[in-house]
Amino acid sequence: MVATLARELGVDITAVDGSGPSGRVTEADVRAAAEDDGDGESEEKGTKSAITRRDEGSDAGATAAEATGSAGAAATVETADRDRTLAVPATRRVARELDVDINEVPTEKTRDGEAFVEEEDVRAFVETREAAEAAPASAGAETAQPTPGGPAAGERVTTEAYKGIRRTIGNKMAESKYTAPHVTHHDTADVSALVEARQELKPRAEERGIDLTYMPFVMKAIIAALKEYPMLNSELDEKAGEIRYKHYYNIGIAVATDAGLMVPVVKDAENKGMLQLASEVNELAAKARDRDLRPDEMQDGTFTITNFGAVGGEYATPIINYPETAILGLGAIKQRPVVEDGEVVPKHTLPLSLTIDHRVIDGAEAAKFCNRVMEYLENPTLLLLE
């Protein structure tokens, strides 16, 4: 097993960049990391062993950290410059998610004479870095900075750094698009009955301090359809050569923020009522816009919804939130001309764009799933049976 090999070679597996499917760490990655550590040791003078320390009494059973390459005191400058840093696996995971080199995070904490970084240090470093990036350029700076009023006189091109959350989002989008062959199925639901149902229930929800949007109805319809078509609530494990069906429903809700698209996840949505879903979606969306989401609030999703209709769109080709295998895009609900009994009449309709991983899901199955979602949205009282 990869974990066993890592323990034998003294490698912190959480600090290894995986080259396998979905970023999984392979045996080759572990051996390469061990060789890199060995090369580094031979070139350093008077340094301690680079073998990863282990807290034998830790009930987590994971390495506490890697030893630093210097016996000096921890860095106290605004940006540290260490070769190695002690940190628990959870802290390293947060650093990777926030696109932070943990060796650059300042800290005055030490453990066994080595620099020791905790999660709060990583987050404080990110906040300081973002504040510095947001600050106006000093007088005489060579790089032109965009201003709220537009470019400076004579400026034809302005730039901003491609890093942080924007780069993290971009990398995930590229991984999804270049790994899973995308196919998008489009359809339109007549949601006149849904509009009426929401109008009737909205005042009741407001009495309880909850803003009832259409999203909880859509989530309920999706969960009901996923139970019938579990292939769309799955994950393809290429290394193991198996498709994993998820029999729980963690629904991700894509939220547009100033920093880019973020996807908080409503966990175990199948066990929650309409108002509870509404409250949780509203809370997570607000936290996303305020950049206040915890990493665990954006993990373990099984299916994602993206509502581009909120800005006026109708159809799109959403990119799958990999390693999930499907994502449903919602257009704007509004009145459109519909032919009914040979006459054109105005109806509230909802455009749907369902993107699937075609390695796992066939087009016919995607169409059937979408039809079932539409059935629940067009007849919302059916949701009472779920």
Q: What is the pLDDT of residues 174-225, one digit of tens each?
A: 999 999 999 999 999 999 999 999 999 999 999 999 999 999 999 999 999 9
Which amino acid is it at 288? Answer: A
Query: Which residues of the chain form CATH 3.30.559.10?
Result: 183-385
pLDDT one-digit tens code per residue, 300-338? 999 999 999 988 889 999 999 999 999 999 999 999 999
What are the CB-based long-range contacts (under 8 Å, 24+) for 68-75? Answer: 68/114, 68/115, 69/40, 69/44, 71/46, 71/47, 71/113, 71/114, 73/110, 74/107, 74/108, 74/109, 74/110, 74/114, 74/115, 74/116, 75/106, 75/107, 75/115
Is there a catalytic annotation at residue 348? Answer: no
| R_g (Cα) of the chain, nearest Å | 25
Question: Among 182, 186, 348, 358, which one carries the catalytic annotation?
Answer: 358
| Model confidence at 288: pLDDT above 60 | yes
CB 292 within 8 A of CB 238: no
Each residue's pLDDT tens digit, 152-177: 777 889 998 888 888 888 999 999 99
DSSP assignment string, 362-374: -HHHHHHHHHHHH
Residue 64: band (very low, low, confident or very high) from pLDDT cuts 50, 70, 90: very low
Predicted confidence band at 93 (pLDDT cuts at 50, 70, 90)? confident
Q: Do the bridges between strand 334-340 and strand 242-245 make them parallel or antiparallel, or are there none, so unpaired?
A: unpaired
When the pLDDT of each residue in the chain is averaged and rounded to a whole number, the result is 82
Name the band, by pLDDT with cuts 50, 70 and 90, for residue 114: confident
Query: Among residues 78, 81, 79, 70, which one has the least CA distance to residue 114?
Result: 70
Which CATH superfamily is 183-385 part of?
Answer: Chloramphenicol acetyltransferase-like domain (3.30.559.10)
Tokens of 109: 């904490």
For the cut 80, the answer to whether the pLDDT of residue 227 exceeds it is yes
CA distances from 272 to 16, 279, 369 (A): 38, 11, 22
Closest residue by Cα to residue 318 from 219, 153, 142, 177: 177
Contacts of 109 (CB under 8 A, 6+ apart): 74, 115, 116, 117, 118, 121
Whether the Cβ atoms of residue 354 and residue 370 lie closer than 8 Å to each other: yes
State the DSSP code for 382.
G
Residue the block writes with tokens 């139970």:
227
